[in-house]
Structure 1
């Protein structure tokens, strides 16, 4: 629906998204989509307690079993990208885990689609490993704590793949930008447009050449229970 404080859709469309939430087994909103007045939870996520409230609302009000909120910026984590997830208990209370990954100082094209695609595959893999394929909405029993949830294990692998691929994408991007041909003959706004297009193209996520990182992620960042 949007990001960085700005909607990509007309504000009138937001209620339609809310109306479909009860049909979803999993949602993967970014922080902007999950929070705020007139958005999904109507909670401004500016603290850990507010984050917990947002998850409680999304589970209990919309009956969504599995939630991952991406690209979180929480107090005290200026150099980290925080991902928080939860699988609801039988009473729809959250089981919250968080994973902190070092932030990469670069804008990338395609990370949202990459995260969603990898999550579907890794979550299905973790569900099969846990023997939950025939369980409604693949929800673990209440006795399973946050860090042992299939959703947490799946997210660890997803973030391992993504971090490795994005680090290598940035390295390739920097090399490519260093070789950009001289644009001295292009003036003014046209020059800025050309530079923007080249920088955007250079930052497209490089998946094919990094397939090993997708298939065999080296997990370095692990889930831990979210504490206030």
Structure 2
């Protein structure tokens, strides 16, 4: 099969940057460019490596520096973006600065519905804890109503909705609340462990992505896609998901002639499993799973190489070196796997929600 590029899409990507490896904009820029997007990267931090190494050097951009970079683009008339993808911002003030950029780009496109789309990843925490300052949460809550699509993980969805997700019904409630509370038309919750929720018969460990696009009355159209979990932690997967979603949603929306429709929302008669968001997400997850499987193979091969013993090292230093070696081995192998970014083999299917898994008011 020949390489297929998505429709030309100009993206402003606002996220972190690392010198080594693929997270933040280092991940997102390459992914989107590989699929044919024109990407302008505005970096919110400049680190030597991702923080999973437990040590790094670098700087965080101030809100003023972020604003100044955008002002420079405006002064040179370089703001003809179709999409903005915003990810990690290092402070509440930086989140507000990013929000101001997104709102300004929306205003510039106000007379031309569908000509600008904002994908916002509200990076706040995971696994039950915040890893940003407490004031970042209200800063995100303030700007989310201006976004077209948000990509929270389970913990972030709980934080935004105020609902603890313990079942499929409460998961649906959380998405419904997010739609209603923030008037955001599209939501994808990027990582839910369905096997831990009630009414699940999943035997193998599975990660589930839950998505929704609202109808005209604000009610959700819910779909799910189940993927097998891989036994390894990879940094940058959220950034890969967001970047692939930008490209594949742009492609799916073009196929449905929605590029002149505000927020790219499908008519009410379109079923959840037929939504452009659902079709895009299947391709996204298929590409990601293939890349991560190949990464896992390379990781195992790298870790199988015997490391020469260094005399004189204490136990603490040996443990540190081994941790760093294992963390490095798990860096996503992106560059040599662009073929599965462009031409994914579809591995999964979109599932509709069963009536019994919905809260009463949605049945």
Normalised to the residue count of structure 2, the TM-score between the two structures is: 0.61
The offset of 1:187, in angstroms, is: 2.4
Aligned equivalent of 1:97: 223
Return the alpha-carbon distance in structure 1 between the equivalents of residues 221 and 309 of structure 2. 53
- Say which of 135, 145, 148 aligns to 1:22: 145
Aligned equivalent of 2:101: none
Q: Which has the larger radius of gyration?
A: 2
The offset of 1:180, in angstroms, is: 4.4
Aligned equivalent of 2:269: 143
SS across alignment from 2:331: coil
Return the alpha-carbon distance in structure 2 between the equivalents of residues 137 and 183 of structure 1. 58
Return the alpha-carbon distance in structure 1 between the equivalents of residues 250 and 186 of structure 2. 13
- Say which of 322, 326, 333 aligns to 1:195: 322
The offset of 1:85, in angstroms, is: 0.2
Return the alpha-carbon distance in structure 2 between the equivalents of residues 112 and 174 of structure 1. 22
SS across alignment from 1:95: strand
Aligned equivalent of 1:4: 127
Q: State how many pairs are aligned.
A: 225
Equivalent pair of 1:122/1:158 in contact (CA under 8 Å): yes
The offset of 1:184, in angstroms, is: 5.5
Return the alpha-carbon distance in structure 2 between the equivalents of residues 168 and 140 of structure 1. 35
Aligned equivalent of 2:180: 60
Return the alpha-carbon distance in structure 2 between the equivalents of residues 222 and 104 of structure 1. 18
Aligned equivalent of 2:213: 87
Residues 48-93 of structure 1: per-residue CA shift (max 9 Å, x gap): 0000100101111101111100110122345111000000111111
More strand by share: 2
The offset of 1:103, in angstroms, is: 0.7
- Say which of 142, 146, 166 aligns to 1:46: 166
1:72 aligns with 2:192: yes
Return the alpha-carbon distance in structure 1 between the equivalents of residues 299 and 149 of structure 2. 33
1:215 aligns with 2:324: no
**Matching of residues 177-192 of structure 1 within 5 Å:** 177-183=303-309, 185=311, 186-192=313-319
Return the alpha-carbon distance in structure 1 between the equivalents of residues 320 and 128 of structure 2. 24
SS across alignment from 1:168: helix
Return the alpha-carbon distance in structure 2 between the equivalents of residues 190 and 223 of structure 1. 47
Return the alpha-carbon distance in structure 1 between the equivalents of residues 330 and 288 of structure 2. 14
Residues 183-212 of structure 1: per-residue CA shift (max 9 Å, x gap): 463322211211111111111111111111
Comparing 203-212 with 184-193, greater Cα deviation is found at: 184-193
Aligned equivalent of 2:77: none
- Unpaired stretches in structure 2, ≥5 consecutive residues: 1-123, 358-363
Return the alpha-carbon distance in structure 2 between the equivalents of residues 192 and 58 of structure 1. 43
SS across alignment from 1:40: helix
Aligned equivalent of 1:33: 156
1:113 aligns with 2:231: no
Return the alpha-carbon distance in structure 2 between the equivalents of residues 198 and 99 of structure 1. 33
Return the alpha-carbon distance in structure 2 between the equivalents of residues 163 and 178 of structure 1. 22
1:164 aligns with 2:296: no
Residues 108-142 of structure 1: per-residue CA shift (max 9 Å, x gap): 12111101000000000000000100000000001
